Structure 1
Amino acid sequence: MEATDGPLSRALLRLMPNLDERQRRLALGAVAEGLGRGGIRTVAKAARVAESTVSRGVRELDGPRLPAGRVRRAGAGRKPLTERDPGLMPALLALARSTGPEGTGRSPLEWTTLSVREIAQALTLLGHPVGPDTASSLLKAEGFTLQPSAYTSVRGTREHRIARLRHGAALLRGFTDAGHPAIRVRTEPAVEPGRRARSCGECVQGRGAPQARSAVCADLCARRRPAG
């Protein structure tokens, strides 16, 4: 019990939280060297760490000093997910492009109709386990941008959005094929909420409950709806 409950253990457990990763290893290694034979095991038990951590600290005491501010040598640490799984990005892009323009991946304007959650689930089934946040970050690194969910109006349906994207891709291809530079800018009308409520028009009628183009319009529709 001396190793884990004695003065050495209390001193180390009080000191460790105030040191960074490398400083902890060096401190443990120095104490282990000072204790002599069996020091590594004694210090590991006292500090409640693995013996390999203390052994590494002993080795680092005799190794080259790191630049100021570094706790690991260059190239150490956890590698990016795309390096640990080289097939992840090709699978991600192939999946995204398979649901894009004509499924060819050759359009000047690329998109996917899958949500990041659907992409993450599909990649996991393909042997590349990732979450929605990771899928979103990887797509963003490739130049994709996350678009808001479709609105409740006809103009906000997935089919209408795809039609607009295909129209934009055709225009871009026409300009670039002619040797002209071209960019696509996505804009939204800046309308005050009060004005929007007055100008949103009648609710979109159809089967089921009436639908409106925004939450403000929905409230307006509710007021216009006859009682009973």
Structure 2
Amino acid sequence: MSNTVEKIKVKYGYLRSHLDEKVLRLWAAVEAQSLGRGGISQVSEATSLSRTTIYVGISELKSGGPDIDSRLPGRIRRTGGGRKKLKEKDPSLLQDLDKLLEPATRGDPETPLRWTCKSTTKLAEELTARGHPVSQRTVCNLLDELGYSLQANRKTKEGSSHPDRDKQFMHISDKVKELQSIGQPVISVDAKKKEKIGEFKNGGQEWEKKGSPAEVNVYDFVDPVLGKVTPYGVYDITTNKGWVNVGIDHDTSEFAVESIRRWWREMGSPLYPNANQLLITADGGGSNGSRIRLWKLELQKLADELGMTINVCHFPPGTSKWNKIEHKMFSFISQNWRGRPLITREVAVNLIGNTRTKKVLRLQPN
């Protein structure tokens, strides 16, 4: 490399990030003309600009400047300059891409991507195989232009609701107000999901020193000694107090009713010493389901034992999230033990017992 080429290369290195392509082209043309014969070749070697680009710059200098539409201030290329867009060079590109994305609705159910992940890489490969050589980055741009974006599944299809669903909600509301007005207990019951006991990952995050997270097992096989626990909750709607029975066996109807029995003895009876009725609201599934005969049988035994009338109002199918205990009690328990491994049953019980809210929710574990 000659000394002249080296000097031009140094100057180009300083200028290239500060000049747009129009000014850079004109500068290269000036440098080439100042060198005389062989200048174009030397400038081209130093800057890696093509000889054609430098010739264009020289032509623009001689004609008084590039042919740019004066009505568009700031424009550095003449109208129509630059490479043609792929969709202009290949009119069927967008149509074929659309078919790959929605094969069933676009009349092409046999597309190779019908049953695979539609990543941009795979889309680019399939388009290339169909005669449209494109890169993964280009596919991203085309998808955006077509109005596509990454979307997660959305739970919106509930199916047809029961014709009497609203009537059941109104019945529950009226019944709750009726018993509350005469000082009778109203509770919401349900079983929380089973929790594995041991050094297992628990969802959420907890404040720890940087780089010192709580270490847990890689695999989540149930510990044969510690097993699982099933928290069965009883939430007093009137007093905003909760009671949780932490079971170590199956979530049966006997366990559910025994939890209610213990709640009454330890918490309910002192709060409602003159009660002769009890209203229970529950969802329609699980151990306290509306079709479980054992649940009804055990409740009758409890009613006979306590000498009181027990009414049960089940929520309509698919509406368990409206059960008060779900968002008034269980959600706060999950928040309180987020990111903490339930290493022992005692830890689980203590975390439940220390759950508090601004509205003075109090939980009593058993």
TM-score, normalization by structure 1: 0.52
Counterpart check, 1:51 vs 2:51: yes
Contact 1:29 1:54 in 2 (8 A): yes
In 2: Cα distance, 1:3 partner to 1:200 partner: 84
Aligned to 2:49, the other structure's residue is in SS state coil
Counterpart in 1 of 2:87? 82
In 1: Cα distance, 2:140 partner to 2:37 partner: 53
Question: Which segments of 5 or more consecutive residues in structure 2 lack a partner in the other structure?
Answer: 160-189, 195-202, 205-219, 228-366
Which range moves more in the overlay, 82-91 or 56-65? 56-65
- Cα RMSD, aligned residues only: 4.2
Counterpart in 1 of 2:3? 2
In 2: Cα distance, 1:19 partner to 1:135 partner: 31
Matches within 5 A, 1:115-194: 115-117=117-119, 118-131=122-135, 134-148=138-152
In 2: Cα distance, 1:200 partner to 1:84 partner: 62
Contact 1:123 1:129 in 2 (8 A): yes
Aligned to 1:27, the other structure's residue is in SS state helix
Counterpart check, 1:72 vs 2:77: yes
In 2: Cα distance, 1:53 partner to 1:10 partner: 20
> Could you tell me which amino acid in structure 2 is paired with residue 27 of structure 1?
W
> Could you tell me which amino acid in structure 1 is paired with residue 4 of structure 2?
A
In 2: Cα distance, 1:27 partner to 1:18 partner: 12
Contact 2:101 2:118 in 1 (8 A): no
Contact 2:124 2:136 in 1 (8 A): yes
Deviations 1:14-35 (A, max 9, x none): 3444322111110111222233
Structure with bigger RCO (C-alpha 8 Å, 6+ apart): 2
In 2: Cα distance, 1:148 partner to 1:51 partner: 51
Contact 1:3 1:43 in 2 (8 A): no
- CA displacement at 1:137 relative to structure 2: 4.2
- CA displacement at 1:52 relative to structure 2: 2.6
Distance verdict in 2 for CA 1:136–1:100, change over 3 Å: farther
- CA displacement at 1:134 relative to structure 2: 4.1
- CA displacement at 1:88 relative to structure 2: 0.9
Distance verdict in 2 for CA 1:11–1:122, change over 3 Å: closer
- CA displacement at 1:41 relative to structure 2: 2.0
Distance verdict in 2 for CA 1:200–1:90, change over 3 Å: farther
> Could you tell me which amino acid in structure 2 is paired with residue 2 of structure 1?
N
Contact 1:116 1:135 in 2 (8 A): no
Aligned to 1:76, the other structure's residue is in SS state coil
In 2: Cα distance, 1:141 partner to 1:201 partner: 46
> Could you tell me which amino acid in structure 1 is paired with residue 77 of structure 2?
R
Structure holding more helix per residue:
1
Distance verdict in 2 for CA 1:200–1:58, change over 3 Å: farther
- CA displacement at 1:93 relative to structure 2: 2.2
In 2: Cα distance, 1:200 partner to 1:87 partner: 57
> Could you tell me which amino acid in structure 2 is paired with residue 70 of structure 1?
R
In 1: Cα distance, 2:145 partner to 2:39 partner: 49
Deviations 1:146-185 (A, max 9, x none): 32168xxxx7xxxxx9xx5xx9xxxxxxxxxxxxxxxxxx
Contact 1:22 1:71 in 2 (8 A): yes
Counterpart in 2 of 1:158? none
Equivalences, count: 162
> Could you tell me which amino acid in structure 1 is paired with residue 18 of structure 2?
N
Deviations 1:96-118 (A, max 9, x none): 342338x489xxxxxx8764314
